[in-house]
Amino acid sequence: MSTALNNTKNIINSFQDIFFTDISDQNVSSKYLIEHYSHTVKYYAQDDVDYNTVISNNFDTIKKENNINLSLFSHLSQDSNLEDIENALNQITETTKIVNDSVHLGYQLLNRYEAILNDNNLTSNINVRNVTTDENTVATYVTLVDSNTTSLFSIQKSINNFSDNSSSATPFSIQSLQLALEQKENVLKDAKEKLKDYYVYAPFDGEISQLSVSNGDTVSSATSLAVLITDQKIAEISLNEIDMAKVQVGEQVTLTFDALPDLTLAGKVTEADPIGIESQGVVSYTIKISLDKNDERLKPGMTVNADIITETKQGTLLLANAAVKTQGNINYVEIVNKQDASATSTMKNGITLNTAPAKQTIKIGISNDEFTEILSGLNEGDYVVLRIVTSNNTTTNGTTTNTTSRGSLFGGNSMMPQEGTRIFR
Question: Average pLDDT of each block of 10 consecutive residues along the chain (425 residues)?
Answer: 94 95 87 93 90 95 94 90 90 96 95 93 87 94 95 89 59 77 92 84 80 87 82 84 87 91 91 88 90 84 88 86 90 80 59 80 86 89 80 42 39 38 36
- The Cα–Cα gap between 289 and 306 comes to 9
- The Cα–Cα gap between 248 and 308 comes to 10
pLDDT of residue 337: 73
Do 318-424 and 236-311 fall under one CATH topology?
Answer: no
pLDDT of residue 384: 86
pLDDT of residue 415: 39
Superfamily of 236-311 according to CATH: Efflux pump adaptor protein, beta barrel domain (2.40.30.170)
- The Cα–Cα gap between 23 and 146 comes to 31
Question: Does CATH place domain 318-424 in 2.40.420?
Answer: yes
Question: Can you give the residue ranges of every domain in the chain?
Answer: 2-198, 236-311, 318-424
284, β-bridge pairs: 240, 277
User: Torsion-angle region of residue 92: left (phi > 0), alpha (psi -120 to 50) or beta?
Assistant: alpha
pLDDT of residue 402: 36
Coil, strand or helix at 307 = strand
User: Torsion-angle region of residue 268: left (phi > 0), alpha (psi -120 to 50) or beta?
Assistant: beta
- The Cα–Cα gap between 164 and 169 comes to 9
